[in-house]
Amino acid sequence: MSDTVKYLLDEKDMPTHWYNIMADLPEPMAPPLHPGTGQPIGPDDLAPLFPMELIKQEMSTEREIEIPEEVRDIFRQWRPTPLYRARRLEKALDTPAKIYYKYEGVSPAGSHKPNTAIPQAYYNKAEGITKLATETGAGQWGSSLAFAGALFGMEIDVYMVKVSFGQKPYRKALMESYGARCVASPSNETNAGRAILADHPDSNGSLGIAISEAVEIAATRDDTKYALGSVLNHVLMHQTIVGQECMKQMDMAGDYPDVIVGCTGGGSNFGGIAFPYLGEKLRGGKDTKFIAVEPAACPTLTRGQFAYDFGDTGHLTPLVKMHTLGSTFIPPGFHSGGLRYHGMAPQVSHVQDLGLIESKAYHQTTCFEAGVKFARAEGILPAPEANHAVRGAIDEALRCKEEGKSETILFNLCGHGHFDMQAYMDYFGGNLQDLDYDEGELAMALAGLPSVAAE
Amino acid sequence: MSDTVKYLLDEKDMPTHWYNIMADLPEPMAPPLHPGTGQPIGPDDLAPLFPMELIKQEMSTEREIEIPEEVRDIFRQWRPTPLYRARRLEKALDTPAKIYYKYEGVSPAGSHKPNTAIPQAYYNKAEGITKLATETGAGQWGSSLAFAGALFGMEIDVYMVKVSFGQKPYRKALMESYGARCVASPSNETNAGRAILADHPDSNGSLGIAISEAVEIAATRDDTKYALGSVLNHVLMHQTIVGQECMKQMDMAGDYPDVIVGCTGGGSNFGGIAFPYLGEKLRGGKDTKFIAVEPAACPTLTRGQFAYDFGDTGHLTPLVKMHTLGSTFIPPGFHSGGLRYHGMAPQVSHVQDLGLIESKAYHQTTCFEAGVKFARAEGILPAPEANHAVRGAIDEALRCKEEGKSETILFNLCGHGHFDMQAYMDYFGGNLQDLDYDEGELAMALAGLPSVAAE
């Protein structure tokens, strides 16, 4: 029997529409609120930050929204991405489970993030915007938007969380190779950054702070808008191209997932692979189990509160109802910079609150152990973020072994780890600690959640 | 008109045989000689270093040799690789030329090197070998053999040129992720290494030295053989899967290359894309121009002598007739570690001597400039080695613009630059110099070429 089993779609089978989970939710989501009035926001409230077409997508309840031909044209460079059956990993685990993984690391930026970077740049460009400001953690999002900026001839300013900026100078170099500007956050370029630095000159930064900086820049300049790499409805929707391709590829394999695993930071990677299947389940389809895997050091879904909160530390964003650790919560500096966010996509939070998905938290060393096992079996070295999904999938496969079940497990290998070798060096050198957040700090951050009359 | 034009082959169209240029050479090559006797070597002389099947391939004159099914099975994970028409780059250059590039960076190791690492590991394993020793420059070859070792459950020892070992700790980490051991060369583990260190304790190393170390290890241990990432006939033949795929993909495009460009260090990347076309030309096919692009700081084809020389600095290998700068020549520490070799594949040297190919040398900054231009147009950041091919292809496209010609240019984008970000940082920081070799040193190295009676 062949070891390598790859399912490749023809270009003509690349999805032409994004899937919008809003159309199939059994209960509507709580609306985003204006922090001043406590009232639901409208499109105009978001207009300083986003182009109108993206605002419409953010608020849409239509099941399908067409992917513009110009966007699909760019996607064709690396999409459809391959789906693999991990036979060599199955053998190494000696499991009766069937493990499939979707591989998004084949994009020029090395991760799934261009799936939303390209359309975001496209819609902004179409509305005359020449510059985008954004934040980035590990740098996967920043370099993806930089890539999109190069293709559309737009200026890109990236505020990169300072701890990652220091850990990953090569991500900055990649952004610069694409012509973008990358600044350590908190920076002196914004009021939000200066306020943090005044109180904490040595601040390591956080995604919440970097978002404040980028939002401030966008809100105060006419030619500039803001782009977010996860969390928002339209971003999760853009990632559903991943899950939709999986559906066709699993069909080719003659199989259907019993379990789907994705890692969660802001939620877009998980939503991208899970939501097309969840929608099918909600419309009466098969009963798939969904597992969101997050870092134990930033356990938004497993330890956070489902409440209205700000998306950023500087409190410039609307209030959204989500699983949150509190917008002042600063997670410890573990290696999956893309997962160090205090909040969670409202859509992912909502479906967890409805009991439609499960979540699970892991410390980082066990994730790296899983990633190395995966690399030695399958040849692809995952990004630290993706190692969380690998750990989750392997544990499901080991459960199947224990229970003697031949379940079908699908996970999203959202990026390669070639920019994360310092983390692997630390792991091999025994210098990787299982960091924990401070319980007192978490309690304080949760106590500081805004009180919202509308709740 | 669509911007992204990708030509993807079906798996079933992946070549089943390697192409052997030996069958079509208009004049036979000079044989490798035993350094002691000056007589042509036979299979037994190579038996301590290589498994018999690879020795047979090294000496074969058959036009086609079958790729084992087990090897093709592994290749299917990322092969056939895409061929792209670089329309965005053409626009950026405003050239009437059509530029195509084959992209080998989609392999798990990020370069074309697994094309030979996998079969080499396979044939060794089949003959009971449990361990392979090798050298590596920039680390692309070492990490590819490490990847192959992980899949076949073999021990891999990599002697990495010390200057690259220092510049690229992350390449070492990748090898370790695959379970290989990586040692800075010259090392204290071999007589060859110790001899160099005794004379030059601060030696930066060179591919020639690292080869000596790996060859010595293989020659003195029963369970261990040697694997080389370029130069040898069988290695170049393994890379012809690249050119053969290009032929089918260019057929899909309804086009045929007027010019083929590849970068050359040891010659396998260039041979891989050029030889299937050169063979066709020699059998009466179209008149394609072949351009080998090399670093000006290690100008083997443009400044070297076509003479018998050792493949390594320690003089443990047979003598082969090739373009060489002399086995004692140590190139300066420029950033394309994969191109820092004193010699050149005998096959590539032979066809240049016959006037069948051209060669060209570039300094490194102009290559990085070309690489950044390429990245901003096409989205893929090339490895520094590949930047030489990009520079060569862009210059051909600019020549076409000057001459008003719409020629078809094909080049091999042999790997991505995600492990080479320090080089890009140096380039952006203005810290990248156009290094030159020392003329006196070169003269001395050439004067030291072994005298061979048989010549």
**A181-185, A206-210, A411-415, B150-154: range with lowest mean pLDDT:** A206-210
Compute the distance between CA of residue B170 and CA of residue B259 in angstroms, rounded to an integer: 35
- Residue B191: inside a domain, yes or no? no
Query: Long-range contact list for B439-445, CB < 8 A, 24+ apart?
Result: B441/B329, B441/B330, B442/B303, B442/B325, B442/B326, B442/B329, B444/B326, B444/B328, B445/B325, B445/B326, B445/B327, B445/B328, B445/B329, B445/B342
Predicted pLDDT at A1: 44
Residue of B nearest to A77 (CA): B4
* Whether A418 and B73 lie within 8 Å, measured CB to CB: no
Residue of B nearest to A86 (CA): B77
pTM of the model: 0.96
Which of chain A's residues have a Cβ under 8 Å away from the Cβ of B151? Answer: 88, 379
Average pLDDT over residues A216-230: 95
Predicted pLDDT at A295: 96
- Residue B370: inside a domain, yes or no? yes
pLDDT of A334 higher than 90: no
Band of residue B451 on the pLDDT scale cut at 50, 70, 90? confident
- Residue A76: inside a domain, yes or no? yes
By percentage, how much of chain A surpasses pLDDT 90? 91
**A326-340, B27-41, B296-310, B311-325: range with lowest mean pLDDT:** A326-340
pLDDT in tens, A124-179: 999 999 999 999 988 999 999 999 999 999 999 999 999 889 888 899 999 999 99
Predicted pLDDT at B330: 86
- Residue B55: inside a domain, yes or no? no
On average, the pLDDT of chain B sits at 95
Band of residue B2 on the pLDDT scale cut at 50, 70, 90? low
Nearest C-alpha of chain B: how many angstroms from A417? 9
Nearest C-alpha of chain A: how many angstroms from B19? 24
Nearest C-alpha of chain B: how many angstroms from A416? 9
By percentage, how much of chain B surpasses pLDDT 70? 99
Predicted pLDDT at A340: 87
- Residue B389: inside a domain, yes or no? yes
What total of structural domains would you count in chain A?
Answer: 1
In this structure, what CATH number is given to the domain that contains residue B306? Answer: 3.40.50.1100
Predicted pLDDT at A455: 45
Predicted pLDDT at A453: 57
* Whether B88 and A151 lie within 8 Å, measured CB to CB: yes
Which of chain A's residues have a Cβ under 8 Å away from the Cβ of B110? Answer: 418
On average, the pLDDT of chain A sits at 95
pLDDT of B265 higher than 60: yes
- Residue B57: inside a domain, yes or no? no
Q: Answer whether A424 touches B (CB < 8 Å).
A: yes
Band of residue B317 on the pLDDT scale cut at 50, 70, 90? very high
SS (H, E, C) chain A: CCCCEEECCCHHHCCCEEECHHHHCCCCCCCCECCCCCCECCHHHHCCCCCHHHHHHHHCCCCEEECCHHHHHHHCCCCCCCEEECHHHHHHHCCCCEEEEEECCCCCCCECCHHHHHHHHHHHHHCCCCEEEEEECCCHHHHHHHHHHHHHCCEEEEEEEHHHHHHCHHHHHHHHHCCCEEEEECCCCCHHHHHHHHHCCCCCCCHHHHHHHHHHHHHCCCCEEECCCCCCHHHHHHHHHHHHHHHHHHHHHCCCCCEEEEECCCCHHHHHHHHHHHHHHHCCCCCCEEEEEEECCCCHHHHCEEEEEECCCCCCCCEEEEEECCCCCCCCCCCCHHHCCCCCCHHHHHHHHCCCCEEEEECHHHHHHHHHHHHHHHCCCECHHHHHHHHHHHHHHHHHHHHCCCCEEEEEECEECCCCHHHHHHHHCCCCCCCCCCHHHHHHHHHCCCCCCCC
Q: Which domain holds residue A368?
A: 4-14+68-110+236-447
Which of chain B's residues have a Cβ under 8 Å away from the Cβ of A2? Answer: 73, 76
Predicted pLDDT at B453: 57
Compute the distance between CA of residue A7 and CA of residue A246 in angstroms, rounded to an integer: 9
* Whether A422 and B11 lie within 8 Å, measured CB to CB: no
Tokens, residue A341: 């966010």
Which of chain B's residues have a Cβ under 8 Å away from the Cβ of A372? Answer: 177
Which of chain B's residues have a Cβ under 8 Å away from the Cβ of A177? Answer: 372, 375-376, 381, 424, 428
Which of chain B's residues have a Cβ under 8 Å away from the Cβ of A110? Answer: 418
Cis amide bond preceding B96, omega within 30: no
pLDDT of B452 higher than 90: no
pLDDT of B135 higher than 90: yes
- Residue A136: inside a domain, yes or no? no
Which of chain A's residues have a Cβ under 8 Å away from the Cβ of B177? Answer: 372, 375-376, 381, 424, 428
pLDDT in tens, B383-405: 999 999 999 999 999 999 999 99
Q: Give contacts of B 137-156 with A, CB under 8 A.
A: 147, 150-151
Compute the distance between CA of residue B195 and CA of residue B218 in angstroms, rounded to an integer: 18
3-state secondary structure of B447: helix
Predicted pLDDT at A335: 80
Nearest C-alpha of chain B: how many angstroms from A317? 32
Predicted pLDDT at A333: 79
pLDDT of B165 higher than 60: yes
Q: Give contacts of A 82-111 with B, CB under 8 A.
A: 84, 88, 106, 108-110
- Residue B301: inside a domain, yes or no? yes
Average pLDDT over residues A33-57: 95
By percentage, how much of chain B surpasses pLDDT 90? 91
Predicted pLDDT at A176: 96
* Whether A4 and B73 lie within 8 Å, measured CB to CB: yes
* Whether A422 and B170 lie within 8 Å, measured CB to CB: yes
Q: Answer whether A77 touches B (CB < 8 Å).
A: yes
Predicted pLDDT at A452: 78
pLDDT of B3 higher than 80: no
- Nearest partner of A368 among A321, A453, A448, A434, judged by Cα: A434
Band of residue B335 on the pLDDT scale cut at 50, 70, 90? confident
Q: Answer whether A11 touches B (CB < 8 Å).
A: yes
Band of residue B7 on the pLDDT scale cut at 50, 70, 90? very high
Nearest C-alpha of chain A: how many angstroms from B270? 23
* Whether B425 and A170 lie within 8 Å, measured CB to CB: yes
